[in-house]
Structure 1
Amino acid sequence: MSTTDSTSTTCPVLKGPENYQIWKLRIMGKLREEKVYGVVTGEETSSLSTMSPLVYPDPGNRYADSWGMRDGRAHGIIVRHIDDRIVLQTAHHTTSKALWDAIVELHENVN
């Protein structure tokens, strides 16, 4: 018998306008679950994370990660959940916020 983590958010791969709305809802859930949604939306910026220095952070504490690490994690999550064609279209966006904004711009006007 197989067990699954019921708290894990299943997220489809964004193929295009046809599944954008459900993809957006699911990826937002995934990003929140991973505690990186604020980096993607711009609510949490790199300047905020430098304002409170961390002294010997606990490596197991997600909240103690640097902004750069959280941005990289968010960027990776998004890239893993978009079609290769969209990855190629948006490859020049190096931050998760820039990537998110580009995907929204590509698909929100279509729907």
Structure 2
Amino acid sequence: MTDSAWTKQGATLSLNNACKEFGLSEQDIIHSIQQGKLQYRLNYAHGNPYYKLLRKEAQALAQALYGDDYLKKQALEHEWLTVNKEINSLKRKLSKLEKQKAELSQKLGIA
């Protein structure tokens, strides 16, 4: 595969994110790397090493190990978790703004 696949935004993901997104175990990924089924690059974040994988290859591995239905279910679960996380974040922001509004209303003498 060419280097362009490694530089495209969204075309790669870390080993941990591959486990979360596709429901793969770390052992499955390491075993596939050792067999030469997955390409990887060793990157460093703040001095800590991590494996960087191609998203298409990680997705193909999950599909080969668990099938199409499992992959679709994992995609839906991942999307659900992402949406739920965003909803909770917005609830916290709204709560903070409601408190700020109440304080300002009190200072202004507005009911």
Same fold per TM (> 0.5)? Answer: no
Query: Rg larger in 1 or in 2?
Result: 2
Q: 1 or 2 for the larger relative contact order (CA 8 Å, sep ≥6)?
A: 1
Higher helix share: 2
Tell me the TM-score normalized by structure 1.
Answer: 0.29
Tell me the TM-score normalized by structure 2.
Answer: 0.29
